[in-house]
Amino acid sequence: MKAKVYVTLKKSVFDPQGKAVHQALSSLGFPEVRDVRVGKYIELELGQIDKTKAEQKIKSMCEKLLANTVIEEFKYDL
Amino acid sequence: MKFGVVVFPGSNCDYDCYHVLKHVLDQPTEFVWHKDRDIAKFDCVVLPGGFSYGDYLRTGAIARFSPVMESVVKHAERGKLVIGICNGFQILLESGLLPGAMLRNQSLKFVCRFVHLRVENTATPFTRKTKKGEVLKIPVAHGEGNYFTDDETLTSLEKSGQVLVRYSDPLGRITADANPNGSLGNIAGICNLKRNVFGLMPHPERASEAELGSSDGVKIFKSILEIK
């Protein structure tokens, strides 16, 4: 089973990287972009594992290592 | 005072810290490899600057799971001293020994220059040789030193005197211009509630001899020596 994990800065946390990308997109002629947030995308190859168990494990992995929950939030697809 | 300087793969200020402690201050000092677990003989553990594990994932995120860090957490719980400098501070945040997290510098640039720090609290093992309001000239060198925490934690840090140094101008005024990275409240260094764990982004080991442009940093190490 493959898990796709997305880690992004919380909404309450200012994202200077996203802001720089936003400005670059605006100057490239994409005024329709309202906001940009830059995050991380992580793929995990899990092998044979029950879906409920996989979800528990991924949640734990995110909380322990993949995301820093002081500044980041995460979501995942299985 | 016996010092242990931890060496992670990617540490690059370990020799500077070792040099200052061993040769400038004449203290028994040893390197500690990140896979070592026995640090019982040390009074103070130094987590030096650098790019441990290439800063992969997040700064300090992988280093905190090094075998030595389990012992460092216990060492801190026993009330012994830990000082984390730059990447060492980031590791302390990731390990939960200090609250908060580091974001990329607001400018998105790596900042490497002398800054000024105003001492906010001198009643700690790390600042007792300084005076309240004293301004120290010490360099920073980091890309992710933008200290962040939630409002509640920030209020409690301020209330309990855990903010030990703040970025200021040469006269000790806390201004936005004096803030090299966008840190909340110009915070440059904090300690834990028990006051035995200190993390700071600036490099006191790079400013501990007059030949290097400032010896203000040595006051931090000399403060530690006062502890018996």
B59 token code pair: 């700064």
B115 token code pair: 């800054």
Nearest to A16 among B94, B108, B149 (CB): B108
Which residues from chain A sit within 8 angstroms of residue B183, using beta carbons? none
pLDDT per residue over B142-194, tens digit each? 999 999 999 999 999 999 999 999 999 999 999 999 999 999 999 999 999 99
Q: Is B61 on the interface with A (CB under 8 A)?
A: yes
Strands B3-7 and B44-47: parallel
Q: How many CB pairs under 8 A join A and B?
A: 37
Reference B200, options B86, B76, B52; nearest CA is B86
B198: burial class by Cβ within 10 Å (0-12, 13-18, 19+)? buried
Closest chain B residue to A39, measured at CA: B57
How much is the pLDDT for A66? 97
Are the beta carbons of A71 and B148 separated by less than 8 Å?
yes
Q: Are B85 and B45 in contact (CB under 8 A)?
A: no
Nearest to B106 among A16, A65, A66 (CB): A16
State which CATH number among 3.40.50.880, 1.10.3300.10, 3.40.50.1260, 3.40.1010.10 fits the domain covering B3-225. 3.40.50.880
Reference B1, options B28, B38, B31, B30; nearest CA is B28
pLDDT per residue over B28-68, tens digit each? 999 999 999 999 999 999 999 999 999 999 999 999 999 99
Which residues, in sequence order, are CB contacts of B35 under 8 Å at separation 6+? B66, B67, B68
Q: What is the pLDDT along chain A (78 residues), one digit of tens a residue?
A: 999 999 999 998 989 889 999 999 999 999 999 999 999 999 999 999 999 999 999 999 999 999 999 999 999 999
Q: Which residue shows structure tokens 């929950």? A: A69
All structural domains of chain A with their residue ranges: 2-77
Of the listed B13, B44, B86, B191, which one is catalytic? B86
Which residues from chain A sit within 8 angstroms of residue B149, using beta carbons? 70
How much is the pLDDT for B228? 58
The yes-or-no answer on residue B203 being catalytic is yes
Provide the pLDDT confidence category of residue B95 given band limits of 50, 70 and 90. Answer: very high
Mean pLDDT of chain B: 97
Residue A78: Cβ within 10 Å count: 13
Residues 81-140 of B with CB under 8 A from A: 93-94, 99-101, 103-108
How is domain A2-77 classified at the architecture level of CATH? 2-Layer Sandwich (3.30)
Distance CA B134, CA B73 (A): 31
**Angle B141-B144-B145 from CA coordinates, rounded to 5°:** 70
Provide the pLDDT confidence category of residue B226 given band limits of 50, 70 and 90. Answer: confident
Are the beta carbons of B150 and A65 separated by less than 8 Å?
no
Distance CA B225, CA B207 (A): 17
All structural domains of chain B with their residue ranges: 3-225
Q: Are B127 and B119 in contact (CB under 8 A)?
A: yes
The yes-or-no answer on residue B86 being catalytic is yes
Could you tell me if the ipTM is greater than 0.85?
Answer: no
